Structures are given as C-alpha cells and as structure tokens.
Amino acid sequence: MALIVHQFPCLSDNYGFLVRDEATGKVAAIDTPDAEAILAELGKLGWSLDMILNTHWHPDHAGGNEALKTATGATIAGPAEVTRIAPLDRALRDADVVMLGETRLQVIDTGGHTLGHISYHDAENAIAFVGDTLFALGCGRLFEGTAEQMWASLQRLAALPDETTVYCAHEYTASNARFALAVDSAPETKARAEGVFAARDRGEPTVPTTIGVEKATNPFLRAPLLRPDAASPAQAFGEVRAAKDGFKG
Ligand code: ZN
Ligand code: FE
C-alpha cells in the first residue's frame, strides 16, 4: 500500500517530511527540524502525528522531539545517540524494522556524518529517507566518522534499486553542483548541474532524487573514477570529501 510523503522546507535549508501510511492513516515525522513548522503542516493536512523517526542526533534533526511529543503524544524511535539532546522511546539499530501502520521501514546503518546515523528504507514503495548521509550531488560532512565508515554507508545506499526515491534532509544541491562541476567533467554531471541551477532559479526543490541519478552524477559516489590513483575506493572518497570541505565555490 502507498506511503504518502509530504515534503516542506523549514529552518534555513532543511526539509521536513511527514509520511502517511495509506492503509491505516498512521503518520510519522522523519526528523524534527522545527516543531512549530511540523505542527503547522500537520494542521494544514488534517493529520495527527503517531510517530517520530530520527536519523541522527543533530539539533536540526532531533531538536523538535520534545515539543512534538508533548503536543501530540507521538512515540519516538531513532538511533541511541539521539538521547544526547532529546527524548527517545525506542533505540534502533541496523536491520531493525519499524512498522508505520502497514508500511515496513527497514533501518540501514549509515554512520559517518555522525557515528550512529541511520536511514529508513521502504522497499515496497522504493523510498528511502537518508538524513544527512547522501545529498543530491553531495554527501554529509564527516563530523564524527571516518571516510571508510561513510564510504561503506554510501555503498549501502547505492546498492538500493536505481528507481529508489531518495529524500535528503537539506537543499544543498546548487552548492553541491558547483563543486561537482569543478571536479567531474562527465557530460551527465554538467547537464544535471544546469538543471539544478534552473530549478533553483525557479524556486523549485531539487529533493527528492533517485539512487540511479546519484550513481550517475554524484561526485562522492563516483570518487573512485575521479581519483583513480587513490589506494582504495574509501581513500578516493576521503580525498573528494576533503576537497569539498575546502571548496570555495
Ligand atoms: Zn546533521
Ligand atoms: Fe542536518
């Protein structure tokens, strides 16, 4: 049965996601960047919140947990690291399954941006919520993990079916596209970057993306091709990540 995804911008460059299991009407918030904005969207939609699913502990992902739980009574599931800043009812780890009504969300460990970062995959509907691990034309910074850990996490996402719709937590794509053009001369990357700039000029979101599009154009997934002399794919990835960290585009 379908999972309806309602996406809306909040804070300076986050996306909030409210998802509704069509079979049962159960609703979850993927991360809690802004409790007030989420409550306002729930009101507009006429939905009531049953569950909060966090991807990682950062305040722009779990900072609204407490206020939303107080306001709605929703139960909160996420990686144990969330308790650093926010309440959590159920600690999730790799391969756990969360049922939202009849929708089955499988937990994938995608540590690297933070050590405990997780993603949620609905295989039946080919949808993934990836937080700050994979972005359109980009990936999350390595705040806590190593290049090896993040590369392994990105490979797990890249192994999902190409048609998988990927919901990333930030609109960073124009900045990512400027970097992609600087490090990757592939025609597919150039064409995509032009599409991204045009979409942003029109004020349109560039999220969601798909696994297939990212495999074809994302310089972080393409790192081993861009850095053929690196000792390993993870090292190639680490070099591209470091280049982006120092990129003034
Ligand atoms: Zn983050
Ligand atoms: Fe974030």
CATH code of residue 174? 3.60.15.10
Mean of all residue pLDDT scores within the chain: 98
How far away, in angstroms, is 200 Cα from ligand 1 center?
22
Task: Answer yes or no: 170 catalytic.
Answer: yes
How far away, in angstroms, is 159 Cα from ligand 1 center?
22
Residue 171, number of CB atoms within 10 A of its CB: 19
Task: Answer yes or no: 58 catalytic.
Answer: yes
- Whether 249 has a pLDDT exceeding 80, the answer reads no
Task: Answer yes or no: 61 catalytic.
Answer: yes
Round to whole Å and give the CA distance between 18 and 198.
27
Which ligand is in closest contact with the Cα of 170? Answer: 2
Please write the tens of the pLDDT for every residue from 49-80: 999 999 999 999 999 999 999 999 999 999 99
Range of the domain at 61: 3-245
Task: Answer yes or no: 121 catalytic.
Answer: no
Total number of domains constituting the chain: 1
Burial (CB count <10 Å: 0-12, 13-18, 19+), residue 91 = middle
How far away, in angstroms, is 120 Cα from ligand 2 center?
16
Taking residues 34-51, report their average pLDDT.
98
pLDDT of residue 1: 78
Which ligand is in closest contact with the Cα of 31? Answer: 2
Taking residues 72-96, report their average pLDDT.
98
How far away, in angstroms, is 58 Cα from ligand 1 center?
5
- Find out whether 187 and 153 touch, Cβ atoms under 8 Å: no
Round to whole Å and give the CA distance between 98 and 83.
19
Catalytic residue among 31, 50, 60, 122: 60
